Amino acid sequence: MYFYMKNKMFNTFLVLMMLCGLTACGQADHEPQVGEYGTNLVNSILLTPNQLEALNVAVETKPKPTEQRPGIGIGFKGDAHLNPYRFVIVVKGTAIHDGPIELKWMGGVQNEKTNGYHPEIYQTEDSHHYHANDPVLLVISSDPFSVSEDNSGLFYSVSADLIAASNIKFQSVEVQSWQGKASKFSFTSYLKFLVILMVIVFGVYRVISVRR
């Protein structure tokens, strides 16, 4: 009975890991819709031609100094009664050559009272193999975040700098902020869930081992 339960927990753990991996992969087949990243689109900004050009230059030159990295951002008025919120980047473009695409941003959320933010990585979860000139649609999102009661009503800004990009020519980039419950979650959310699950599984395993 002990070995059966041990094998059962291990098999369940492997299946969950496979599901997390499958969920994280694949090119988006449509732009964000109501209910996927939130119930209400709070704000949306399209990058200008000059901003797009800066991103495309960064793909080729890969700027290293932080101050030279092209950035994006968006703002909204926070309301604690409308939590949670979500930061979403919608990228359209074409593949430069055959192979996968890499796209990684680093940024965070802050309000008008704070100075700086806790950095977070926003990156593609796309393992698709593209051919040269293939159309590309990538949707990159942050984890859901909340506005506290004390900071309700303050102006919030979300910003991100491009820190890595390859095999993509940007044609348009839309930065969005969503509010409300969502049906889609980023890979980091699944990893957090997986860590919690591992703690529970190994806790049960330890109890069984002690009682045995």
Evaluate if residue 62 carries a pLDDT over 80: no
Residue 193 inside a domain? The answer is: no
Q: Is 149 helix (H, G, I), strand (E, B) or coil?
A: coil
Residue 198 inside a domain? The answer is: no
Residue 84 inside a domain? The answer is: yes
211 burial (CB, 10 Å; 0-12 / 13-18 / 19+) is exposed
pLDDT in tens, 166-203: 999 999 999 999 999 877 655 444 444 445 556 676 56
Closest CA to 87 of 182, 190, 194: 182
Does residue 32 have a cis peptide bond before it, meaning omega lies within 30 degrees of 0? no
Residue 48 inside a domain? The answer is: yes
- Stated pTM of the model: 0.74
Alpha-carbon distance of 155 to 78, in angstroms, equals: 6
Predicted confidence band of residue 20 (pLDDT cuts 50, 70, 90): very low
Count the domains in the chain: 1
Q: Mean pLDDT across the stretch 112-119?
A: 84
Evaluate if residue 207 carries a pLDDT over 90: no
Q: Mean pLDDT across the stretch 78-106?
A: 94
pLDDT in tens, 126-148: 778 999 999 999 999 999 999 99
Q: What is the mean pLDDT of the chain?
A: 80
Residue 75 inside a domain? The answer is: yes
Residue 195 inside a domain? The answer is: no
Residue 194 inside a domain? The answer is: no
Evaluate if residue 89 carries a pLDDT over 60: yes
For residue 68, give its domain range: 28-187
Residue 83 inside a domain? The answer is: yes
More confident residue, 176 or 19: 176
